[in-house]
Amino acid sequence: MRYSALILGLMAAPLAVMASPVVEVMERQSANSLDAAMKAKGKYWGTATDQNRLTAGSNAKIIQANFGQVTPENSMKWDATEKSSNTFSLDGGNYLVEWAIANNKTIRGHTLCWHSQLPGWVSSLSSSAIEAALKNHIITLMTKWKGKIMHWDVVNEVLNEQGQLDTSKPFMSKMGEKFIKVAFETARATDPDAKLYINDYNLDQGSYAKTTGMANLVKKWLGQGIPIDGIGSQAHLQSGQGAGFAAALTTLANSGVSEVAVTELDIVGASSTDYVNVAKACVQQKKCVGITSWGVRDPDSWRASNNPLMFDAQYKPKAAYDAVYKYLTT
């Protein structure tokens, strides 16, 4: 049964049925929006989604009620947008953008320069041709959605675990460190109002080599005048890692960027303690602009077997949702 049909059915039923958990859950969500609670603190709570999710189950309703920002989970990646050289397919990204605007959500573009989901034709280019392709890709996507996308993950996952640029990845191996400058300068020139981010995973502990390496590199790049506005910590956490997360955001913020963000949050086991610790870390970090969950409900997660999100298979908020809401509002 479609969820809306279920709700309608329950509305027509006697009062005893009206108090069913499903109806309570929907009423509670509209009243208790995570995003509204974050907005009261000057931040947002968003989620990753895309057309396939927005047109399935209760995702759209839950996002409308709970989240203030959306990130396209896959539709703006290189393999989805430019499978062949200079032939662009932007319909999937456009669906997300139009939905977000119609529903008053801000958007984080994801992602312009990433080694994964990168078509083979790009990685096999010569160094001058890959630079031209990178510029053309950034200019085309950012021009298409100019003024509509507030934050852009310009560069994604370019460091190794030692906190250095990974020389095995195509843009670095072909262009050297210069690709960072080219990517950010092209992005800034194309949409001067968008906030430009470097985004990565395993930036979850303050003194971990990748976290300190990221902060040091960004500090250096800012010193060279490269226009980086923010660092995104993806936050695909293991159970228990929420505890050290505040220190990680502090290390990243101290690089000199004007903002940081939690961009892809999911946590193995989704314990309330871990979720509250991450919420607290962002709330208490002045430069943290918001948190994005990497999906709505567990079965749709890229790590579904770990039940890492805040909604279960029936779209019911889990304990972590209640705990975060309580933390944000008391």
Residue with tokens 């970090």: 285
327 touches ligand G3I (CB under 6 A)? no
Q: ∠110-191-283 over CA atoms, to 5°?
A: 55
Give the integer Cα–Cα distance in Å for 108 and 111. 9
Cβ contact 246:285 at 8 Å: yes
CA atoms within 13 A on the CB side of 213: 18
55 touches ligand G3I (CB under 6 A)? no
Closest approach of ligand G3I to the CB of residue 264, in Å: 5
**Residue 264 known to be catalytic:** yes
Closest approach of ligand G3I to the CB of residue 48, in Å: 7
Closest approach of ligand G3I to the CB of residue 73, in Å: 5
b/e burial code for range 259-284 (CB count within 10 A of at least 16 → b):
bbbbbbbbbbebbbebbbbbbbbbbe
302 touches ligand G3I (CB under 6 A)? yes
292 touches ligand G3I (CB under 6 A)? no
Closest approach of ligand G3I to the CB of residue 19, in Å: 36
Which residue among the candidates 73, 82, 131, 157 is catalytic per the annotation? 157
Query: Applying CB under 6 A, which part among 70-78, 202-210, 282-290, 305-313 lies near ligand G3I?
Result: 70-78
Collapse the DSSP code of 58 into the 3-class scheme (helix H, G, I; strand E, B; otherwise coil) and give the result: coil
**Residue 27 known to be catalytic:** no
Window 178 to 217, contacts with ligand G3I (CB under 6 A): 201
Window 92 to 121, contacts with ligand G3I (CB under 6 A): 116-117
Query: Applying CB under 6 A, which part among 8-16, 55-63, 73-81, 89-97 lies near ligand G3I?
Result: 73-81
Q: Which residue is nearest to ligand G3I (CB)?
A: 302
Six-digit token string for 221: 């790049």
Return the beta strands (E) in the chain as ranges.
44-49, 69-72, 106-113, 151-156, 195-200, 230-233, 236-237, 259-267, 288-293
Closest approach of ligand G3I to the CB of residue 81, in Å: 12
Residue closer to ligand G3I by CB (options 2, 83) is 83
Residue closer to ligand G3I by CB (options 259, 264) is 264
Query: Which residues fall within 8 angstroms of residue 222, CB to CB, at 6 or more apart?
Result: 228, 255, 256, 257
Q: Which residues pair with 152 in a beta bridge?
A: 109, 196
74 touches ligand G3I (CB under 6 A)? yes
Residue closer to ligand G3I by CB (options 114, 315) is 114
Give the integer Cα–Cα distance in Å for 228 and 274. 29
234 touches ligand G3I (CB under 6 A)? yes
Six-digit token string for 193: 């109002």
| Axis crossing angle, helix 127-144 with helix 91-102, rounded to the nearest 10 | 30
How many residues at the interface with ligand G3I, by CB under 6 A?
9
Give the integer Cα–Cα distance in Å for 75 and 77. 6
73 touches ligand G3I (CB under 6 A)? yes
| Axis crossing angle, helix 3-11 with helix 21-31, rounded to the nearest 10 | 100
Residue with tokens 């609670």: 37
Residue closer to ligand G3I by CB (options 80, 283) is 80
x-or-dash pattern for ligand G3I, window 252-271, by CB under 6 A?
------------x-------
* Residues involved in catalysis: 157, 264
Contact set with ligand G3I (CB under 6 A) = 73-74, 77, 116-117, 201, 234, 264, 302
